[in-house]
Amino acid sequence: MLRERGAAALAELPAIGVGLASAIAEMAATGHLSRLERLRGGVDPEGLLQSVPGIGASLAHLLHERLHIGTLEALEIAAYDDRLEQLPGIGPRRAAAIRANLAALLGRVDRPREPSRLEIPAVAQILDVDRQYRRDAAAGKLPLIAPRRFNPEHKAWLPVLHTERSPWHFTALFSNTARAHELGRTRDWVVLYYHDDDHREAQRTVVTETHGPLTGRRVVRGHEGDCAAYYAAADTAVTARSA
């Protein structure tokens, strides 16, 4: 069915929604399931992105490091909200080719729903999950996995949190990317993967800001403006209570 009619046909079957159909399509196309590999500590985001025709090592690195994309679902969203064209060397024609190749890879028949503000967790929710993750990780309350990347001794050191903030399901981990190791940020950068009840998945990265008016505060990469508004409102509320 996947070969003849695409993932949309799978989604029409009982008990298989959009998310599960996408997972089946990803396994059929790449031989891997990124969500499962991530839980095993062995996901290679840049390698996964290179499974899409038209994306080589250099572009995969840019997608992961600049846009914080590590799944095919996240790439699909970026392909339709113009973020791809923000990268050097990606014009409208190449972006369109990547969209077409990704659609074929995932077996899409219809254009995916374009992301809207309602399909992204609120900054307050993301920062709350980030606080819980870092607090529980520091207290040793979270299970540990042994990442396969950058872990030659196979030590279980990476804490994993699964939690919910309605209507979202979150998985939080410290970043285990080459860039995080290079900059010594493996205990600062937190990657949050989230999905809704239809198992459409995306991700965001939370870091401690190192410059500008939000220096020293936790910010969601790509949503610095929303974070500034969030902290301004919080500061105003504290001032009002103090008065």
| Interval 45-60: pLDDT, tens | 777 788 888 888 888 8
Q: Confidence class of residue 94 from pLDDT cuts 50, 70 and 90?
A: confident
How far, in Å, CA of 186 to CA of 180, rounded?
5
pLDDT at 111 over 60: no
Mean per-residue pLDDT of the chain: 82
Q: Is 114 inside any structural domain?
A: no
Residues 90, 127 within the same domain: no
List CB contacts of 88: < 8 A, sequence separation 6 or more. Answer: 62
Residue 43, pLDDT score: 59
Annotate 152-163 with b (16+ C-beta within 10 A) or e (fewer).
eeeeeebbbbee
Residue 199, pLDDT score: 61
> What is the residue range of 197's domain?
119-242
Residue 220, pLDDT score: 93
Residues 132, 74 within the same domain: no
User: What mean pLDDT do residues 200-226 have?
Assistant: 89
Residue 148, pLDDT score: 73
Where helices occur in 141-223 by DSSP H, the ranges are 178-183
Residues 95, 125 within the same domain: no
Residues 7, 68 within the same domain: yes
pLDDT at 42 over 60: no
Residues 101, 136 within the same domain: no
Residue 219, pLDDT score: 96
- Taking Cα atoms as reference points, which of 114, 175, 118 lies closest to residue 150? 175
How far, in Å, CA of 218 to CA of 124, rounded?
11
Q: pLDDT per residue over 113-146, tens digit each? A: 444 433 678 999 999 999 999 999 999 999 888 8
pLDDT at 150 over 70: yes
Q: Are 52 and 73 in contact (CB under 8 A)?
A: no
pLDDT at 197 over 80: no
How buried is residue 22: exposed, middle or buried, by Cβ count under 10 Å (0-12/13-18/19+)? buried
Residues 92, 138 within the same domain: no
Residue 7, pLDDT score: 78
User: What mean pLDDT do residues 8-36 have?
Assistant: 80
In the numeric block, the tokens 């989230």 are attached to: 194
Residue 89, pLDDT score: 82
Using a cut of 0.75, tell me whether the model's pTM lies above it. Answer: no
Q: Are 60 and 17 in contact (CB under 8 A)?
A: no
CA dihedral sign, ordered 120, 21, 78, 133: positive
Residue 38, pLDDT score: 64
Residues 54, 140 within the same domain: no
Where helices occur in the chain by DSSP H, the ranges are 2-5, 7-11, 18-30, 34-39, 45-49, 57-66, 72-80, 92-106, 123-138, 178-183, 224-242
Specify the CATH number for the domain of residue 58: 1.10.150.20
Residue 129, pLDDT score: 97
Q: Is 226 inside any structural domain?
A: yes
How far, in Å, CA of 110 to CA of 7, rounded?
10
- Taking Cα atoms as reference points, which of 60, 43, 58, 86 lies closest to residue 201? 43
Residue 3, pLDDT score: 82
Q: Name the domain count of the chain.
A: 2
CA distance to 5, 155, 200, 239, per residue, from 106 (Å): 11, 34, 13, 50
Q: Is 111 inside any structural domain?
A: no
Residues 128, 235 within the same domain: yes
